[in-house]
Amino acid sequence: MKKIISLVLCTLMILPSFVLGASAKTGSYVKSLKFKKKATITIPTNKKSASKTFKVTIKTKGKASTKYVVTSSNASIVTVMARKNKVTLKAKKPGKAVITVKTKGKNKSGKKLSKKLALTVKKASSNIKQINNSIPVAKFGKVSGTITYLYNNYIGNRADTGAKVWLIPKNGSASKNNLSSYVGWALSFECEKIGVYCASVDGMGNYIFDRIPVGEYLLFIKSNKTTSGSGFDNKESYEKAISNAVSGYVTKTNADFLGKYIGYQKYTFKSITVYENDTTNVSYDFGITYI
């Protein structure tokens, strides 16, 4: 009888070690678990929640399970949803929570692996919205007109085809950069670089600026068909007068370039206001040419 009892006790002592080592003997176990340790989710001011997805990496050997369980320490702050190897966290209000991922399979020692993510949930600063709201929505208007000259007393007025028209902002936005040469005043893309709008008069004598921000401008027009006696009488004085007309709104270099570009041609300028959803009309006739 004593021999039987001793045999049973020995069997019970050996059994736990056999069970613990069973998975290792079969060659199936969880080798490792990887999950992010720390993260922050920011909820936009115009949203009630925000979501972020993180990857779960489980390495196994043999036929060990790659399944896992994920939990949140505070479901009122963040909820969790697992799908395959990804965990999506839905943040609902500012605060802190711990997200725990635990494997269903066990490692060589017969233990389940777990990783914790320390999550901070923030609400986006309301200042961002205020700053965005403080930026005025752009408003636009149009400027157009007809530019002509007197061909002769018999034929009358004709279109000053090829004449140049510029809109120079009076707010100082065109007073920073220089053109590479006086020829830049003839090219729209060069004028755009210094913040000046440029247009050419078409075969009918018309020009148009279709989308111009509202505000104060100096409208400057150079005739293509007429020349000025003043230019021939005193070229230096003529160019200086042109430069002085725009020097308060563009750099001195660009003002001097404009005087040189105008050359002996007639010109005129006028201060105008561009209004929202309205067309400002400025037409001009240069009269008869000097030469």
Domain check: are 115 and 210 in the same one? no
Asked, for residue 39, whether it belongs to a domain, the answer is yes
Cβ(105)–Cβ(30) below 8 Å: yes
Out of 93, 125, 157, pick the residue that ends a domain: 125
What is the CATH classification number for the domain harbouring 35? 2.60.40.1080
Domain check: are 51 and 178 in the same one? no
Domain check: are 199 and 73 in the same one? no
Dump pLDDT digits (tens) for 101-144.
999 999 989 999 999 999 999 988 654 444 455 556 789 999 99
Domain check: are 121 and 143 in the same one? no
Domain check: are 219 and 85 in the same one? no
Domain check: are 51 and 76 in the same one? yes
Give the pair of three-digit tokens for residue 145.
């007109």
Asked, for residue 209, whether it belongs to a domain, the answer is yes
What is the CATH classification number for the domain harbouring 177? 2.60.40.10
For 199, the domain range is 138-285
Asked, for residue 240, whether it belongs to a domain, the answer is yes
Out of 125, 155, 179, pick the residue that ends a domain: 125
Domain check: are 171 and 202 in the same one? yes
Q: Which residue has the higher pLDDT, 175 or 134?
A: 175
Q: pTM above the 0.75 mark?
A: no
**Structure confidence at residue 125 (pLDDT):** 67
Asked, for residue 51, whether it belongs to a domain, the answer is yes
Out of 125, 154, 173, pick the residue that ends a domain: 125
Percent above pLDDT 90 for the chain: 76
Q: Which residue has the higher pLDDT, 178 or 7?
A: 178
Asked, for residue 238, whether it belongs to a domain, the answer is yes
**Structure confidence at residue 127 (pLDDT):** 42
**Number of domains observed in the structure of the chain:** 2
Percent above pLDDT 70 for the chain: 87
Asked, for residue 130, whether it belongs to a domain, the answer is no
Asked, for residue 11, whether it belongs to a domain, the answer is no
